[in-house]
Amino acid sequence: MSSYGKVKINDCFIIHLETAIKRTNHVNYLKKKIPQKVSVIPAVDGKKLNKEELRYYKPNILCPTYPFKLKAAEIATFLSHRVCWQKIIDDGLDGALIIEDDVRIDNAFFSYHFEKALNEIRAGDFIRFPISDRESVKIPFVSNHNKYIFIPVVIGLGMQAQIVTKDAAYSLLRITQNFDRPVDTYLQLKWIHEVKILTALPSGISEISNRLGGSLIGNKKSLYEKFFREIIRPIYKVKVYFISLFYALKL
């Protein structure tokens, strides 16, 4: 059992699509490696979305406008994370470590990265462990030999691993009754959800989907779609950057 600071994180949820059988052995490996109580959370299947699940997706409801239509797998991924947030509330937990089933955890993760995060985490926090270090260290909470926990100006992408506290889960559930973009892209909108999201770098986390049958989101696009995305995505990213910067200056 782990207990640090004001929040106890004794549970880990692994999001796993049951039909992704190439990932089953890795999930079993993670269950043995993780010292917390592990629950495997069945992922929502994008191929089997029903009307009740699809009602959550409402295009063009937030600012800046997300310029792409969500794939069924992206809707399902968002809903899978909502299932985990709801389980935190339903089980009366302080929070949980939530990881996706294509995550590789290095040997130092629980002995250093996770422990440092738990030393700093407080009720209402959300700490990301990204697979890349593209976020600049702007407001450091912990700094030790190029290891940081910090509040980024622009929150990075990816949902491979994160600690979500109960209050953060409650806030995200309340405000994501409808969503119009992928879950990691939604989390960048801190002026909308107002959850305190921190980043831990280096994270001790990497992603190995290529070894486990590839991405489950799907990457097949027409030449037109590829061209359109290449033009529109940078414009969207600039909008997010400047709104994020303005929001950060207000704090």
Supply 7's token pair: 């929040």
Per-residue pLDDT averaged across 33-38, rounded? 95
Q: Which of 60, 7, 25, 85 shows the shortest CA–CA distance to 211?
A: 25
For 118, the enclosing helix (H) or strand (E) is helix 114-120
**116-166 tens-digit pLDDT:** 899 889 999 999 999 988 776 655 555 555 568 888 889 999 999 999 999
Considering only residues 148 and 188, tell me which one the structure prediction assigns the higher pLDDT. 188
Q: In which band, very low, low, confident or very high, does the pLDDT at 1 lie, cut at 50, 70 and 90?
A: very low
Supply 87's token pair: 């389980």
What is the average pLDDT score of the chain?
89
Show me where the domains of the chain are located. 11-250
Per-residue pLDDT, 2:
44
Q: Show Cβ contacts of residue 32 under 8 Å, excluding neighbours closer than 6 positions.
A: none
How is domain 11-250 classified at the CATH fold level?
Spore Coat Polysaccharide Biosynthesis Protein SpsA; Chain A (3.90.550)
Note the pTM of the prediction, 2 decimals. Answer: 0.90
**62-81 tens-digit pLDDT:** 999 999 999 999 999 999 99
Per DSSP, the three-state class of 153 is coil
For 104, the enclosing helix (H) or strand (E) is strand 103-105
Considering only residues 222 and 33, tell me which one the structure prediction assigns the higher pLDDT. 33
